[in-house]
Amino acid sequence: METTKTTEAPAPAVDDLFVNTPIGMLRSMQAYMRELPELLANPAYGGWWVAYCGNERIGISRTGHELARKCAARGLRSAECYIGIIAPQDPDEWVGLDLH
């Protein structure tokens, strides 16, 4: 039995799409975007901030500064974490970030 092989261009690497962004931060950004719809569903969080380190949600707060301090207190490097506002995002700005 013969199999045919298709030649497809490989998918671009995530870090090629977000130049100079550390891979740890990219993983944290992915977690943020995956969970954002759930966070937006709770009106109490509107305008609050959320922090991720990889797939772990570090916390939710009224200020990003508070979350940055919390990350630092846990010994997390800023290159590993992402702190974002809980607000609708422009999907065009996140194109190419694999959210699966």
pLDDT below 50 — which residues of the chain? 2-4, 6, 8-13
* pLDDT of res. 17: 62
Check residue 20 and give its pLDDT.
Answer: 76
Q: What is the pLDDT of residues 38-53, one digit of tens each?
A: 999 999 999 999 999 9
Give the span between the Cα atoms of 55 and 32, in whole angstroms: 8
* Cβ(86)–Cβ(32) below 8 Å: no
Tokens read off for 9 = 């261009």
Q: Which two three-digit tokens encode residue 82? A: 């992402």
**CB-count exposure of residue 94 (10 Å: 0-12, 13-18, 19+):** middle
What is the predicted pLDDT for the residue at 13? 46
Q: What is the reported pLDDT for 15?
A: 52
Full-model pTM: 0.77
Q: What is the pLDDT of residue 93?
A: 78
Which residues does residue 81 pair with via DSSP β-bridges, in sequence order?
Answer: 53
Q: Where are the beta strands (DSSP E) in 35-90?
A: 49-53, 56-61, 81-85
What is the Cα 87 distance to its own chain's centre?
A: 14
Pairing status of strand 81-85 against strand 56-61: unpaired
Sign for the CA dihedral angle at 37, 39, 42, 48 comes to negative
